[in-house]
Structure 1
Amino acid sequence: MSSPAAPSVLDLAPVIPVVVLDDVEDAVPLARALVAGGLPAIEVTLRTPAAPAAIRAIAEAVPEAVVGAGTVLGPDNVREAVEAGARFLVSPGWTDTLLEAMRASGVPFLPGVSTTSEVVALLERGVREMKFFPAEAAGGTAYLKSLASPLPQARFCPTGGVSAANAGSYLALPNVACVGGTWMLPGDALAAKDWNRVKALAAQAATAGR
């Protein structure tokens, strides 16, 4: 994250739901269901036109949620997300330009990495908390386990292929603080606006690794 003085998003809950919203009207009830289930950190990806408005709606109506923006790809995304009320930023990868913009935003951020060299480069730049993406495709738990000894100062939030079945294996690693995933947000439940089911799945996810 950008500042050691800021509370780490990685420590809020074992799972960060990764949310893709097409309808702004779903943002607040979805966020309330996730928070009620024990998952206060919510990553709304900037993959849809509704995302900035959804972030703003959650930030204004669900103060107990810590809403962030995902799929942050450049300075424009950073500015848009922070103006909407995002309290953390997540990127699938990073460049120096993106890193500078995220750092200048003043909010915590998780730049994405998938190789050892990228991790070392971020450590050189004073960043110790990162997103490991795409987790399963990039080597999964075996890869992260192999980084723990030579790079113990790096902490990760693996995302991409993480599920209810393997989340515990990731969370058992010493260098994994939390995971990101979508399994508590099944498409049929969202389509039906079944927020009670989302809450129940979130409650199950909140116990992952315990």
Structure 2
Amino acid sequence: MATKTDKLLAVLKLQPVVPVLIIDDVVHAVPLAKALVAGGLKAIEITMRTSAALEAVKRVAGEVEGAVVGAGTILNAAHYEAAVAAGSQFIVSPGTTAEVLAAAAASDIPLLPGAATASEVMNLREKGYEVLKFFPAEQAGGAAYLKSLSSPLAGTLFCPTGGISLKNAMDYLSLPNVVCVGGSWVAPKDLVAAGDWAGITKLASEACALKG
């Protein structure tokens, strides 16, 4: 487990913001990932919420130099295995189930499991997880809530995701128990649809400049 934690931390420490992408059309995957990498955001999460997602992971993994692609919204073992087979280098789940944890235990690819309560964090810590996704961040209590966990649950690091934007990202990044944040604002649907890759690179550069 320690090796997997180190692997995961190496990815999450690449940048302050991990783009969380919903890709509807697979033709956007490679140019979008290239635009994000050009702006300094190398670790990219592609969520398994569309029929194009797996192929998008495969293409980014195979064609985008410098990208570290992961799969998000992993809900079961079949999702986990398919995402790994497509080339995912890390896996993200919105919450945690016994099935997802079993799939993670059987794989060399690290899991960033979701948690929103102190009890969920404690349960994951018992299983050896030290780095967790805090989701949905804003709706679950925001930066103030996460700050309140830093003392009783010291030693746990979080990647908060959900409702985070350029405006409130520093509220999280300034916390001692936050390693990075996840956000979709760096790849707005209108810019993706328009193929405005330069605009996305600019947003990525702004996000990359944020420091905790």
TM-score computed with the length of structure 1 as normaliser: 0.97
Secondary structure at the counterpart of residue 136 of structure 1: coil
Paired with 2:152 and 2:102, the residues of 1 have a C-alpha distance of 26
Paired with 1:4 and 1:35, the residues of 2 have a C-alpha distance of 23
Q: How big is the shift at 1:193?
A: 0.6
Q: Which amino acid aligns with 1:53?
A: E
- Evaluate the alpha carbon distance shift between residue 3 and residue 136 of structure 1 in structure 2; reply closer, same or farther with a 3 A threshold: same
Q: How big is the shift at 1:5?
A: 4.3
Q: How big is the shift at 1:44?
A: 0.2
Paired with 1:182 and 1:100, the residues of 2 have a C-alpha distance of 29
Paired with 2:119 and 2:52, the residues of 1 have a C-alpha distance of 35
Contact kept? 2:8, 2:111, Cα under 8 Å:
no
Structure 2 unaligned spans of 5+: none
Selected match of 2:187 from 185, 188, 192? 185
Secondary structure at the counterpart of residue 34 of structure 1: helix
Structure 1 unaligned spans of 5+: none
- Evaluate the alpha carbon distance shift between residue 7 and residue 119 of structure 1 in structure 2; reply closer, same or farther with a 3 A threshold: closer
Identity %: 54
Contact kept? 1:103, 1:109, Cα under 8 Å:
no
Contact kept? 2:8, 2:90, Cα under 8 Å:
no
Q: How big is the shift at 1:4?
A: 3.6
Q: CA RMSD in A?
A: 1.2
Paired with 1:99 and 1:7, the residues of 2 have a C-alpha distance of 15
| Residue correspondences, number | 210
Q: How big is the shift at 1:105?
A: 1.7
For 1:125, the equivalent position in structure 2 comes to 127
TM-score computed with the length of structure 2 as normaliser: 0.96
For 1:137, the equivalent position in structure 2 comes to 139
Selected match of 1:92 from 94, 101, 110? 94
Q: Does 1:175 align with 2:177?
A: yes
Secondary structure at the counterpart of residue 28 of structure 2: helix
Which contiguous aligned blocks of 4+ residues in structure 1 show a shift greater than 3 angstroms?
A: none
For 2:84, the equivalent position in structure 1 comes to 82
